[in-house]
Copies of this chain bind each other. A is one copy, B any other.
Amino acid sequence: MFGMIEAEVFRILSDPTRRAVFERLVGQELSVSELKDSFAVSQPAISQHLAALRNAGLVEERREGRFAYYKANPNGLAPLVNWVDRYRSFWPEKVEKLKDVLKRMDR
């Protein structure tokens, strides 16, 4: 049941271009055309990636006239984050790094 969602997030983020689109939208709202200028693909390709990301809950849309602004929804990463955390305990080497992440978050 929940595995399905996790599979979806994995599938959507496995494409390098689409993943890059998501990364570009983290903490930054951009219109489709602004986004397009960052990539070597056509506008329709961008729109298609955005639709896929939106469907997976990884991106949110805000309409304003003829413009469409998109930003990442980090909550959409939840299935992936949970998956990684499940196996993190088998991966002891970089625990310190993770603790640093938490420290930085507390500030």
Can you list 15 residue pairs at the A/B interface with Cβ under 8 Å?
A10-B14, A14-B14, A27-B90, A72-B90, A74-B87, A78-B91, A78-B94, A81-B91, A82-B97, A88-B105, A89-B104, A92-B105, A95-B105, A98-B98, A98-B102
Interface band, chain A: 35 or more
Contacts of A93 in B (CB 8 A): 75
Contact of A26 with B by CB under 8 A: yes
**Which residue of B11, B87, B98 contacts A77 across the interface (Cβ within 8 Å)?**
B87
CA distance A105 to B93 in the complex (A): 12
A90 smallest CB distance to B (angstroms): 4
A15 smallest CB distance to B (angstroms): 9
